[in-house]
Chains A and B, each alone.
Chain A
């Protein structure tokens, strides 16, 4: 096997990988002075060249998002970090915050400089308080003491304040406009778009705002150090860099693995996770968090980049990959997934509020053995009617598994119902 390229996880094996000393010893905070001497637009140009795609779920080109914000004339501008990490099966931002918080912080400072942002918030899920948030706050305090955060950073004239704030338990607050609502002190109801957060009127306190995932920003030091072209060459077409895959389920070694964008699910399983655990054979794959359409074992040869999976009618999503074995009943699995969405729907839009509730009830009926064939068809039908009808994508994220579980694993459902 070729040498593995590690960008984000390169320090994770080192003792106290989260400390400033470890990060400095491995070349950390070298990109920051370099970036501060560049024109902000030149940094964004480099990010465009890097083909970095947002790691939060949608895979939106980061350079393009940043250019939207730069084009706006309204000030102040904000960069807000999405560290809500609530998508079932996803646990990789937590790994960055716990094990390499300084890499993320250096990237965040560079990003703020590029966007002319002087005040930034890292919005973390509340449960992270004593672990990831504490680590991140410690890194911020250390960076501030070194003069990397604060007034006139490294003599550049650039001022920046970074604050960590915490949510209080709501999956919907990972959706970027719900996150902004929550950050402003309200319940997490997603906002109707346009205006988009990047535009005047749509962002934090109506200011132009880039909302980006933790992992997206953690790539900045490498992009500045080695250049956008280099970063782009690491991944595959239009998908630059590596990705942190958070692998769970019935594999030998679950965990967070860094692999080039576009690695196949089979290679990820066998080369990184040690294959399926003893006695398990692969039955199904959830490729990018529970909102992604499910894949069969035969489809494990698919590449994991955003564009391939979109063409295959599923999504690379959050990078949370679940490998499920032959003993998993997919109807029961879907019933479990749907209970999550019914619980987490914010209730603002009717198709989502009612739809996730109906789906969950029907699936619970099916797995309890009281269902009929018609119930399966109804689940499929209702999920199709929930697509693209709501303010945010939560409903689509519930519909995708519903449709695909039934289409690809119908036998598991049929075996549970009468008639």
Chain B
């Protein structure tokens, strides 16, 4: 176990496979190059994105490793990782579906769409299907309000003007796509956010 509140003394082991390591290193070098040399800690958010893209979620081992690369103590990394909703602190389904439930989407029926997803997938918001293929959540406004209801898949893919039928089609399509493999690490113990 890596202590959170102190700087690690020795080198922190990498959570990546050799192939993943090469991808991470290339992305990391590019991210750090965007900032003045003495400001490299600014690259924490992009580095966490990189790690999550490779592992599917952010286990503590990844937070500690990213911190060690930027000389940021694990507690500080955790503070950042837990603050932002795009960072997933526990494994998700291989396809993570988030339905926007802010005001414009709500006015256009997002709550019905969420209920439809729940019955279609047989899970509630915040849960993962038994086969690990899907998880479901709610998103805050995605800037797709005029194309409501808006849906976000796996953090980056937008599906807009959604209806129950279009949702069914999308779910069918995702069923046969491999999606994000969730790396096997012990789950973060306390995954609570401020709210």
Taking a contact as CB atoms under 8 Å apart, the answer to whether B84 and A167 are in contact is yes
Taking a contact as CB atoms under 8 Å apart, the answer to whether B145 and A183 are in contact is no
Q: Which of A117-137 contact B (CB under 8 A)?
A: 119, 121, 125-131
Taking a contact as CB atoms under 8 Å apart, the answer to whether B45 and A167 are in contact is yes
Interface size class of B (residues with CB under 8 A): 35 or more
What residue in chain B is nearest A183 (Cβ atoms)? B42
What 0/1 pattern do residues 140 to 157 of B give for CB contact below 8 A with A?
111111111000100111
What residue in chain A is nearest B142 (Cβ atoms)? A127
Among A128, A130, A205, A248: residue with most chain B CB under 10 A: A248
Taking a contact as CB atoms under 8 Å apart, the answer to whether A185 and B41 are in contact is yes
Taking a contact as CB atoms under 8 Å apart, the answer to whether A88 and B141 are in contact is yes
What residue in chain B is nearest A173 (Cβ atoms)? B84
Taking a contact as CB atoms under 8 Å apart, the answer to whether B195 and A342 are in contact is yes
What residue in chain B is nearest A325 (Cβ atoms)? B107
Taking a contact as CB atoms under 8 Å apart, the answer to whether A130 and B80 are in contact is no
Among A91, A94, A167: residue with most chain B CB under 10 A: A91
B4 to A: closest C-beta gap in Å: 15
Q: Which of B1-46 contact A (CB under 8 A)?
A: 34, 36, 39, 41-46
The listed residue (A165, A171, A333, A340) touching B46 by CB distance below 8 A is: A165
Taking a contact as CB atoms under 8 Å apart, the answer to whether A255 and B146 are in contact is yes
* Assembly CA distance A90 to B106 (angstroms): 14
The verdict on A333 contacting B104 (CB below 8 Å), with A169-B84, A340-B140 known, is no
Taking a contact as CB atoms under 8 Å apart, the answer to whether A87 and B141 are in contact is yes
Residues of B within 8 A of A167 (CB): 45, 84
**Total residue contacts A-B, CB cutoff 8 A:** 154
Say yes or no: is A249 at the interface (Cβ < 8 Å to chain B). Answer: yes
Taking a contact as CB atoms under 8 Å apart, the answer to whether A188 and B86 are in contact is no
Taking a contact as CB atoms under 8 Å apart, the answer to whether B146 and A248 are in contact is yes
Taking a contact as CB atoms under 8 Å apart, the answer to whether A127 and B195 are in contact is no
Say yes or no: is B177 at the interface (Cβ < 8 Å to chain A). Answer: no
Among B84, B104, B144: residue with most chain A CB under 10 A: B104
* Assembly CA distance A93 to B145 (angstroms): 13
Taking a contact as CB atoms under 8 Å apart, the answer to whether B86 and A126 are in contact is yes
B113 to A: closest C-beta gap in Å: 14
Which residues of chain A have a CB within 8 Å of any CB of chain B? 85-91, 93-94, 119, 121, 125-131, 163, 165-171, 182-188, 205, 246-250, 254-256, 286, 290, 320, 322, 324, 328, 333, 336-337, 339-340, 342-347, 353, 357
11 A-B interface contacts by CB (under 8 A): A85-B143, A91-B145, A165-B34, A168-B87, A182-B45, A185-B80, A248-B104, A249-B108, A254-B145, A333-B106, A339-B101
Q: When A and B form their complex, which 3 residue pairs have the shortest distance between CB atoms, in order from nearest?
A: A168-B84, A169-B85, A169-B86
For the A-B complex with A167-B84, A342-B195 known, give 19 more contacts whose Cβ atoms are closer than 8 Å.
A86-B140, A86-B143, A88-B145, A89-B102, A127-B142, A127-B155, A168-B85, A170-B84, A186-B80, A187-B84, A248-B104, A248-B108, A248-B145, A249-B107, A254-B145, A254-B147, A322-B104, A339-B101, A340-B102
